């Protein structure tokens, strides 16, 4: 298994560079799909990829910005998915809700994930059969490390976390099947982490995502005892290529559950 400590170090190093650029008057450009990209995306990805090539040189890396440029390696049973800066809109508007994401896939399953929110100083990680954890990051070091797990849904109503920047018009209708006590908007893969740490119960995503957006958070949530499935009830899988209906690595709509009984 890949050394999770080294993945944490890679995410923290990338986060430090992101924060350096965050404090500058950075430029924003747009990719072919009109999604925004900044120099922070490029710089963070370069740091992470270089570290992963040292940590696990034989494991292919599918990284968002390289993929956007058409640089996608062949993927086998085991590969990394990297989103160096998830929540570019949150980065641009400077609300702090952006994350660094590194996920490891084995046989279509996310088995290891790290999510770091550098502006918030919070980091989460999870590994199959090893559980999930979170900590604060202070001056590049972990403090207050603790194990996390999902919570049992309350009968009085559940707390739902949803996208701040990518609202889906049919999310409210889908949620009618539940007694919702609170709906809290949040950016990037933070939503997975809030469910994994028992701060929310449910995260529905009835909008477009790519595998690098979800792999790390999905791994953490599964390690914490949760479940991520498509709206049709299938477990979300990874390494989806040659999809006749969509591009490589595109996800279907999905729901992330804390308490598996909600599914």
DSSP characters over 225-256: T-EEEETTSPBP-S---S-TTS-TTBPPPEEE
- CA 31 to the chain's CA centroid: 20
pLDDT band at 158 (very low <50, low <70, confident <90, very high): very high
Question: At CA 81, angle to CA 78 and CA 87, rounded to 5?
Answer: 165
pLDDT band at 169 (very low <50, low <70, confident <90, very high): low
**Residue 218 assigned to a binding site:** no
Q: Which among 225, 250, 1, 231 is positioned nearest to 105, based on CA atoms?
A: 1
**Residue 167 pLDDT greater than 60, yes or no:** no
The DSSP letter of residue 57 is T
Which one has a higher pLDDT value, 130 or 171?
130
Provide the pLDDT for residue 168.
59
Q: Provide, rounded to the nearest whole percent, the portion of the chain with pLDDT above 90.
A: 83
**Residue 83 assigned to a binding site:** yes
**Residue 213 assigned to a binding site:** yes
> Do 207 and 253 meet the contact criterion of CB atoms below 8 Å apart?
yes
Q: Give 23-52 pLDDT, tens digit per residue.
A: 998 888 888 777 888 899 999 999 999 999
List, in order of start, the domains of the chain with CATH numbers.
Answer: 4-148 (3.30.540.10), 158-262 (3.40.190.80)
Q: Give 74-118 pLDDT, tens digit per residue.
A: 998 999 999 999 998 899 999 999 999 999 999 999 999 999 999
Residue 178 structure tokens: 């539940």
Strands 122-127 and 131-138: antiparallel
Provide the pLDDT for residue 263.
86
Residues 6+ positions from 31 with CB-CB distance below 8 Å: 37, 68
Q: Which among 115, 82, 113, 114 is positioned nearest to 210, based on CA atoms?
A: 82
Residue 113 structure tokens: 């994930």
- Which segment of 44-48, 166-170, 254-258 scores lowest on mean pLDDT? 166-170
Ranges of beta strands (E only) in the chain are 28-30, 36-38, 61-63, 78-86, 99-106, 109-117, 122-127, 131-138, 141-148, 158-163, 180-186, 202-205, 227-230, 254-257
Provide the pLDDT for residue 165.
54
Helix (H, G, I), strand (E, B), or coil: what is residue 133?
Answer: strand
Provide the pLDDT for residue 163.
80
**Residue 190 assigned to a binding site:** no
Q: What gap in Å lies between CA 169 and CA 254, rounded to an integer?
A: 15
Residue 214 structure tokens: 């979800």
**Residue 90 assigned to a binding site:** no
In the block, tokens 């900590």 appear at 135
In the block, tokens 């953490």 appear at 220
Ranges of beta strands (E only) in 9-56 are 28-30, 36-38
């Amino acid at each position: 298994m890949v050394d999770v400590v080294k993945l944490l170090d890679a995410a923290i190093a990338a986060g430090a560079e992101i924060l350096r650029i965050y404090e500058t008057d950075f430029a924003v450009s747009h990719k072919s799909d009109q999604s925004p990209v900044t120099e922070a995306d490029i710089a963070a990805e370069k740091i992470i990829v270089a570290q992963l090539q040292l940590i696990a040189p034989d494991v292919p890396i599918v990284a968002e910005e390289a993929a956007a440029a058409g640089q996608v390696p062949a993927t086998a049973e085991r590969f990394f998915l990297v989103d160096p800066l998830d929540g570019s809109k949150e980065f641009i508007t400077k609300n702090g809700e952006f994350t660094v994401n590194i996920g490891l896939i084995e046989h279509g399953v996310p088995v290891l994930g790290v999510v770091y929110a550098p502006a918030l100083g919070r980091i989460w990680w999870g590994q199959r059969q090893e559980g999930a954890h979170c900590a604060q990051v202070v001056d590049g070091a972990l403090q207050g490390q603790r194990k996390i797990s999902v919570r049992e849904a309350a009968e009085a109503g559940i707390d739902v976390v949803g996208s701040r920047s990518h609202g889906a018009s049919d999310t409210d209708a889908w949620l009618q099947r539940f007694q919702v006590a609170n709906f809290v908007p949040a950016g990037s893969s933070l939503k997975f982490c809030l469910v994994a740490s028992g701060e929310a119960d449910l995260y529905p995503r009835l909008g477009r995502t790519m595998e690098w957006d979800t792999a790390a958070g999905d791994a953490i949530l599964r390690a914490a005892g949760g479940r991520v499935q498509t709206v049709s009830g299938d477990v979300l899988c990874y390494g989806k290529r040659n999809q006749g209906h969509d591009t490589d690595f595109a996800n279907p709509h999905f729901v992330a559950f804390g308490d598996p009984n909600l599914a």
